[in-house]
Structure 1
């Protein structure tokens, strides 16, 4: 039996693994199908992590050193997809994997994070991967010296628009309001960039194209419809939490969730089920920042340590 199962290999999961193993647990497994690092590895720029040696580096470069440190004290990385977490009669937890295997653990920390939300305009699904993208660092290269659009008004949208301005010939920033959720300094930086044109308030009515991919967007603006002829649109309109593994066979969640199906936790990252903890983007009121996810992971691990000690 595992002492602790950590599900998810982003900043929260890695931090939890570091604190748990350094705290003395000997049998700690982090379940993550891909390379550790999480969603932040797709970010083009990070400059707000305290003590960061190279502000402005990519998310991939920033996270590249984390696994080495977090595995130093014995954290095990198992490449597997977890499909469900359930509890046994003896209060231990079953970790069900997609290959049919079941691991059993005394405690679990869920750090499955979130994924980019679809914007919902007509043609989005049709051209996803063929002109519609949610990752500028992944796909920006394909639009070198071409015009592209960015949809969104948060920090990620503005930061990625700035990043794309170094690749594309022009970037159209589309947002449904004149005001932005992004930090004022970031918005000002974008407004001072001659390659970025703000189109506000506006929404995307339709994406159109042909078999080769996206050709353009029909926008609803405050004045009239606008035909924006671009081969690429990057959407950054929020995140959906990855909570599917917490659903039980009867369709209900194993623990209490809030109205948006984020996991309810207290200040110690405890869920309503003893021995089950949640950290990072999946928990209620998460700021969805790397620094807070890492902190959540540390808090959850310390709570798990205390819980496991009291089992004996």
Structure 2
């Protein structure tokens, strides 16, 4: 038999944990589901210096504090890889790889993953010179030479942002022209701190065991192998929303992001979404937490209205 809850939260990142805190604090019966450790991508971040209340905090430490705050109100926590969510009247059925659960409200907080280059050194130096978020990590590279890999809007926007702090920003792109919007290109080309390497295929991210030292790449036209010395590399080759289990609900946009209103509600009553999985511009811990507080309260409001 499927175990019944008032609210099931899919994902235990900062937004999901906040939603759990608010919903469980309202005396709802809450289940948090995640396929991995609670905290989400915070666990992959060495230091966070843009979350209010902390001048700097280790990612795993902040994840632990958020988890303990939520668990104070005694939601259940289960590991499971969600395979599908289906509807049965007002009930939602959540199937994982190991079990089945039902609830009146489902909150999708499954997040998004950065596309990886899948080159040697990328995983090894993640959080130690390799980053996927300039807004998060630019301050750690003040007056240093850094690189941005990519040529789309995100890569160029973040390159411009990095140039405010870094000594120099070299954009490494595998094509001979950028894919970013013309106005962004104009700003980037006019920025004296920004340089460009064209037709470059990244081969490896190299380091000394503690931090990265350079990027090895190949000139696609000449075949020549080269290296660029940098203190940090920011990778922007795409972001993938983790929404495959929700395709049948017709709540996704053409790119796979969940569409919601300002109350985190999707078009399906009782299904909410928050954080990085939503169709939005800024994906940060702070606004995921904000989304989570709204979603937790909205879950309570929805259930109260069902009882009226």
TM range (shorter): 0.7 to 0.9
Distance 1:303 1:38, change over 3 A: same
Which secondary structure does the structure 2 equivalent of 1:46 belong to? coil
- Please say if residues 14 and 67 of structure 1, whose CA atoms lie closer than 8 Å, have aligned partners that are also in contact: yes
Which residue, out of 44, 69, 78, partners 1:42?
A: 44
Q: Which residue in 2 is equivalent to 1:64? A: 64
1:1-312 equivalences under 5 Å are 1-25=4-28, 27-50=29-52, 52-55=53-56, 57-88=57-88, 90-99=89-98, 101-118=99-116, 124-125=117-118, 127=119, 130-133=120-123, 136-137=126-127, 140=128, 154-155=134-135, 158=138, 162=141, 172-174=147-149, 176=151, 180-182=156-158, 186-191=162-167, 200-203=195-198, 205-208=200-203, 216-219=216-219, 227-229=225-227, 235-247=235-247, 253-312=248-307
State the 1:156 CA deviation: 5.1
User: CA 1:204–1:81 in 2, change beyond 3 Å: closer, same or farther?
Assistant: farther
Q: 2:177: which partner in 1? A: none
TM-score, normalising length: structure 1: 0.73
| In structure 1, C-alpha distance between the alignment counterparts of 2:168 and 2:228, rounded to whole Å | 22
Question: What secondary structure sits across from 1:85 in the alignment?
Answer: strand
Aligned equivalents of 1:159, 1:286: Cα separation in 2: 21
Say which SS state the counterpart of residue 48 (structure 2) adopts. coil
Could you say what the CA RMSD is over the residues aligned between the two structures, in angstroms?
Answer: 3.5
Given that residues 149 and 236 in structure 2 are in contact (C-alpha distance below 8 angstroms), is that contact kept between their aligned partners in structure 1? Answer: no
| Cα distance in 2 for residues equivalent to 1:131 and 1:173 | 16
Deviation at 1:286, TM superposition (A): 4.7
The CA deviation string for residues 53-95 of structure 1, in whole angstroms up to 9 with x for no partner, is 333x33222222111111101111111111111111x220111
Task: Please list every run of 5 or more consecutive structure 2 residues that lacks an aligned counterpart in the other structure.
Answer: 170-192, 205-213
Q: CA deviation at 1:245?
A: 1.4
Q: Name the SS for the 2:54 alignment partner.
A: coil
In 2, the alpha carbon distance for the partners of 1:79 and 1:30 equals 8
Structure 1: segments with no counterpart, 5+ residues:
119-123, 141-147, 248-252
- The separation in 1 between residues aligned to 2:289 and 2:12, in whole angstroms, is 11
> TM (normalized to structure 2)?
0.74
Q: 1:159 to 1:82 in 2, by over 3 A?
A: farther
Q: Is the 8 A contact 1:30 1:78 kept in 2?
A: yes
> Deviation of residue 114 (structure 1)?
0.4
Over 3 Å counting, the alpha-carbon distance change for 1:159 and 1:275 in structure 2 is same
Which whole-Å deviations, capped at 9, do the CAs of 1:79-127 have from their partners, x for residues lacking one? 1111111111x2201110112x211111100000000124xxxxx44x3
